């Protein structure tokens, strides 16, 4: 626990050290892990290619750092607590010892099926402990996993199988989600009409009928039967691929982001322990799906590397009712709770009544990730869930960054609603203007870049290194470009303003979508909003707002006028939306993010080419929005 930050001055001290001597800093953190062979050099890098290597020539297996390392000290501690979709079904708990056994057995199964180091394996599974077992077993044999969210369509799945040339698919018969039973294997079958893999392994979860192709498809429970519980972890290089994960597709075609073993391991554990201030014995719960980076880094790898107890939830926030999250918190005495603004806003719309019956006194820390969290949602979360005593960590990061880069340290960094606050040690942020000039000092606003490597950063986009270079390293010389706009305020605190592509320029005033949405959401009847720019003859760009609201007895005209007044008061008349469209839903990715590019097309009136919409959750909303265009 020597790497733990305990005070604000301790944070500043560590941060200084990490910038002054990054290699010494990360070598010290990395020393607490188990390496089969130590590195020759901590870091080798250039952002031109890009070519980044951490812990050069070190050998290790990441699962030894999760399993063997904890076996004799905390073997009986729960590693994974699993809460099923249906609260009347019994949950499960896997201790570190049991997890070790399961992973060893499944590693043997994979190897018997001919899967070797470097082979790609698709995991298309519900939120059950076996999804984590599958990931870890791949890592243990040196295979590269690519988890695909089990709600994606067969063609999205086929695209990903094809893109990474997967050898096997690990899946389930079906999936329970809320009141629905979803056919999972059937989707895999459909995908495998277009592309082929050698092996499919099917975990029996719902016991629904599925078709099994002989010679290709096997039942998980049959394969693990009688298999050895001993398995020697395969030695991997620090820079061997750990996984490929496709981004959410908010801004375009999903990118196959590649992460490697050593750096990812060091950074996810370090950031997990510090940001959430996890203490042994705590129960930590992140509500994400393992299909997203948040699930990779902060349900599976980070917590398990830290020897934490991580809760895995199969269901949805509103089943059987909108109090489910809080009932789970009470039941398992959750200490750290980490979710997304989209979930907070959805629950906020149900009021505080669903929270009231539950005892949330176990909670110590609340977290947010995925999108900018608006002040209203932040305050609601803070007051009603955290009872004004739990710090909120607003964590900014990306699939590409592998781990949280900007966030308060829980209970240590003073927070400010809607601010991700300060960078973690090792993260050298840089704000640049459109020409790439660094904007120094406080009270500046521009594009967020990072000028020095960190251990869990993206190494390449799978099969297309040029795309990685073009997307992240070519916009500004010698910098990783995040694609996000940011403001550094007078205290040096960072606030994410949304995607740079979404920044609106009204009569020469640049405005982040997040800022305008934040103001709109302050109106008491607004549930959620999304703002985009559209061409405007006089102002250059006008502001178009899509708003979900509770109409109460208002007319649309009254309400839109009130919203405009609210924005005028909070930001100023310049930010007043020119058009407001009341909608029943917003186009979101399956990870819950608003796809503003679609809304921009609607606002511009160019709806014939909406681009890649394969990751869209509910295509019907798009039609409604097109029809209601202002
Ligand atoms: P794609 O790259 O395919 O368009 P995506 O960017 O949505 O998809 P992710 O890697 O899942 O894919 O999301 C990262 C982005 O989410 C960030 O770049 C940022 O815009 C947003 N984001 C994440 N966390 C926060 C946060 N705490 N505050 C503000 N924005 C956030
Ligand atoms: Mg992105």
Q: Of 246, 297, 371, 424, which is best to mutate to test ligand 1, by the most ligand atoms within 8 angstroms of its C-beta?
A: 371
Q: Report how far ligand 2's centroid is from the alpha carbon of 250 (Å).
A: 7
According to DSSP, the residues that pair with 548 across neighbouring strands are 528
Would you call 622 helix, strand, or coil by DSSP?
A: helix
Section 605-609 average pLDDT: 88
DSSP for residue 234:
P
Q: Is 335 in the pocket of ligand 1 (CB under 6 A)?
A: no
Within 390-524, strands assigned E span 392-395, 429-432, 444-450, 460-461, 480-488, 494-499, 504-506, 509-511
Ligand 1 atom at shortest distance from the alpha carbon of 246: 3
* pLDDT confidence tier of residue 511, bands split at 50, 70 and 90: confident
CB atoms inside a 10 Å sphere around CB 310: 25
Euclidean distance between CA atoms 350 and 552, whole angstroms:
15
> Which ligand 1 atom minimizes the distance to the CA of 247?
3
| 340 Cβ closer than 6 Å to some ligand 1 atom | no
Q: Which atom number of ligand 1 is nearest to the Cα of residue 257?
A: 10
Dist. CA 5 → ligand 1 center (Å):
26
Task: Give Cβ neighbours of residue 425 (< 8 Å, ≥ 6 apart).
Answer: 5, 11, 14, 15, 17, 18, 25
Token pair listed for 525: 């009847």
Read off the pLDDT of each residue in 551-574 and give the average, rounded to a whole number: 91
The response to whether residue 408 sits with its C-beta less than 6 Å from ligand 1 reads no
Residue 484: CB within 6 Å of ligand 1?
A: yes
What distances in angstroms separate CA 616 from CA 247, 293, 593, 608, 626, one per listed residue?
A: 13, 17, 9, 17, 15
Cα–Cα distance, 104 to 63 (Å, whole number): 10
Residue 482 CA, closest ligand 1 atom number = 18
pLDDT over 90 (residue 414): yes
Residue to mutate (ligand 1; options 254, 423, 461, 496; most atoms within 8 A of CB): 496
Query: Which ligand is nearest to the Cα of residue 592, counting in written order?
Result: 1
CB atoms within 10 A of CB 573: 10
Rounded to 10 degrees, the C-alpha dihedral 103/104/105/107 comes to 80
324-338, 373-387, 541-555, 609-623: segment of lowest average pLDDT: 609-623
Question: What average pLDDT does range 331-353 have in this prediction?
Answer: 95
pLDDT band, very low/low/confident/very high, at 592 (cuts 50, 70, 90): confident
CA atoms within 13 A on the CB side of 271: 32
371-375-379-381 Cα dihedral, nearest 10 degrees: -10
Task: Tell me the ligand closest to 591's alpha carbon.
Answer: 1
Using CB atoms within 10 A of its CB, is residue 467 exposed (0-12), middle (13-18) or buried (19+)?
Answer: middle
pLDDT tens string 154-202: 999 999 999 999 999 999 999 999 999 999 999 999 999 999 999 999 9
Both tokens of residue 461?
A: 């986009």
CA 280 to CA 306: how far, in whole Å? 9
Q: Which two tokens stand for residue 590?
A: 């399956």
Q: Of the ligands numbered here, which is closest to the C-alpha atom of 517? A: 1
449 within 8 A of 480, measured Cβ to Cβ:
yes
CA 396 – CA 342 distance, rounded (Å) = 15
DSSP element (H, E) containing 45 = strand 41-46
Question: From the alpha carbon of 400, which atom of ligand 1 is closest?
Answer: 10
Query: Is it the case that residue 244 has pLDDT exceeding 80?
Result: yes
pLDDT for 240 beyond 80: yes
**What is the number of other CB atoms lying within 10 angstroms of the CB of residue 243?**
27
Whole-number Å distance, alpha carbon 107 to ligand 2 midpoint, is: 32
Q: Give the pLDDT of residue 2.
A: 65
Q: What is the per-residue pLDDT for 11?
A: 98
Residue bearing the CA closest to ligand 1, atom 16: 370
How far apart CA 488 and CA 532 sit, in angstroms, is 22
Backbone angles phi, psi at 566, to 5 degrees: -60, -45
Q: For residue 246, what are the β-bridge partners?
A: 256
What distance in angstroms lies between residue 567's CA and the mean position of ligand 1's atoms? 25
How sure is the predictor about 65, in pLDDT bands with cuts at 50, 70 and 90? very high
The residue assigned the tokens 């998980």 is 220
Beta strands, E only, 345-427 = 365-369, 392-395
* Nearest CA, atom 15, ligand 1: 398
pLDDT of residue 610: 86
CA pair distance 596, 34, nearest whole angstrom: 44
**Would you give the DSSP letter of residue 68?**
H
- By most ligand atoms within 8 Å of CB, the mutation choice from 370, 450, 600 for ligand 1 is 370
pLDDT in tens, 459-481: 999 999 999 999 999 999 999 99
pLDDT value for 611: 85
Confidence of residue 564 (pLDDT cuts 50, 70, 90): very high
Rounded distance from Cα 398 to ligand 2 centre (Å): 6
Q: What is the pLDDT of residue 551?
A: 83
**Degrees (nearest 5) of the Cα angle 549, 391, 5?**
145
What is the pLDDT at residue 541?
94
Average pLDDT of the chain? 96
Is residue 1 scored above 80 in pLDDT?
A: no
Three-state SS at 54: strand
Residue 254: its pLDDT value, please? Answer: 87
Tokens of 30: 């990395």
**Distance, CA of 189 to CA of 154 (rounded, Å):** 8
Name which residue sits closest to atom 3 of ligand 1, judged by CA: 249
For 33, 295, 318, the CA distances from 302, given in Å and listed in that order, are: 13, 10, 27
**Residue with CA at minimum distance from ligand 1 atom 17:** 398
Percent of the chain scored above 70 by pLDDT? 100
| pLDDT, average across residues 314-330 | 97
Give the tens place of pLDDT for each residue, 98-139: 999 999 999 999 999 999 999 999 999 999 999 999 999 999
Confidence bin at 503 (pLDDT 50/70/90)? confident
Considering only CA atoms, which residue is closest to atom 26 of ligand 1?
Answer: 396
Judge if the beta carbon of residue 394 lies within 6 A of ligand 1. Answer: yes
């Amino acid at each position: 626990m020597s790497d733990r930050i305990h005070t604000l001055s301790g944070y500043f001290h560590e941060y200084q050290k990490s910038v002054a001597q990054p290699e010494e800093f990360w070598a010290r953190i990395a020393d607490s892990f188990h390496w089969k062979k130590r590195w020759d050099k901590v870091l080798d890098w250039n952002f031109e290619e890009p070519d980044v290597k951490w812990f050069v020539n070190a050998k290790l297996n990441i699962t030894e750092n999760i399993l063997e390392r904890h076996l004799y000290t905390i073997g009986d501690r729960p590693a994974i607590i699993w809460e099923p979709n249906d609260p009347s079904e019994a949950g499960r708990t896997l201790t570190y010892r049991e997890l070790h056994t399961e992973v060893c057995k499944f590693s043997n199964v994979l190897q018997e099926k001919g899967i070797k180091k470097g082979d790609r394996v698709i995991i298309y599974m519900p939120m059950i402990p076996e999804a984590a077992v599958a990931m870890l077993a791949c890592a243990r044999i040196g295979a590269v996993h690519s988890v695909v969210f089990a709600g994606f369509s067969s063609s999205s799945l086929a695209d990903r199988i094809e893109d990474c040339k997967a050898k096997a698919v690990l899946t389930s018969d079906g999936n329970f989600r809320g009141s629905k039973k979803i056919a999972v294997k059937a989707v895999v079958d459909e995908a495998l009409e277009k592309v082929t893999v050698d092996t499919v392994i099917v975990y029996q979860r719902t016991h629904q009928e599925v078709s099994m192709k002989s010679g290709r498809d096997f039942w998980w429970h049959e394969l693990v039967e009688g298999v050895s519980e001993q398995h020697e972890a395969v030695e991997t290089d620090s820079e061997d691929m750990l996984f490929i994960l496709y981004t959410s597709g908010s801004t375009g075609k999903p990118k196959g982001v590649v992460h490697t073993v050593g750096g990812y391991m060091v950074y996810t554990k370090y950031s997990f322990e510090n940001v959430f201030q996890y203490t042994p014995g705590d129960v930590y719960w992140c509500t994400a799906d393992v299909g997203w980076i948040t699930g990779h880094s902060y349900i599976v790898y980070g917590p398990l590397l830290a020897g934490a107890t991580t809760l895995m939830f199969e269901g949805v926030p509103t089943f059987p009712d909108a109090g489910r999250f809080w009932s789970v918190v009470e039941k398992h005495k959750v200490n750290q709770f980490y979710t997304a603004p989209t979930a907070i806003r959805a629950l906020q719309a149900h009021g505080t009544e669903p929270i009231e019956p539950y005892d949330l006194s176990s909670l110590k820390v609340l977290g947010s990730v995925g999108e900018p969290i608006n002040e209203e949602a932040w305050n609601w979360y803070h007051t009603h869930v955290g009872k004004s005593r739990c710090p909120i960590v607003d964590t900014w990061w990306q699939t590409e960054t592998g781990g949280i880069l900007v966030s308060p340290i829980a209970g240590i960094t003073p927070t400010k609603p809607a601010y991700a606050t300060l960078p973690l040690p090792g993260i050298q942020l840089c704000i640049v203007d459109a020409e790439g000039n660094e904007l120094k000092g406080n009270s500046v606003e521009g594009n967020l870049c990072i000028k020095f490597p960190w251990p869990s950063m993206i190494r390449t986009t799978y099969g297309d290194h040029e795309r990685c270079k073009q997307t992240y390293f070519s916009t500004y010389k010698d910098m990783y470009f995040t694609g996000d706009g940011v403001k550094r305020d007078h205290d040096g605190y960072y606030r994410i303003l949304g995607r740079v592509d979404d920044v609106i320029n009204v009569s020469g005033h640049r405005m982040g979508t997040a800022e305008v949405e934040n103001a709109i959401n302050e109106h008491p009847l607004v549930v959620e909003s999304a703002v985009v720019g559209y061409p405007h003859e006089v102002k250059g760009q006008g502001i178009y707002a899509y708003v979900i609201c509770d109409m109460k007895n208002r007319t649309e005209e009254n309400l839109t006028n009130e919203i405009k007044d609210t924005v005028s008061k909070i930001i100023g008349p310049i930010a007043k939306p020119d058009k407001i469209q009341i909608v029943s839903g917003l186009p979101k990715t399956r990870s819950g993010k608003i796809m503003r590019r679609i809304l921009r097309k609607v606002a511009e009136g160019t709806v014939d080419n909406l681009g890649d919409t394969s990751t869209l959750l509910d295509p019907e909303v798009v039609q409604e929005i097109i029809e209601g265009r202002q």
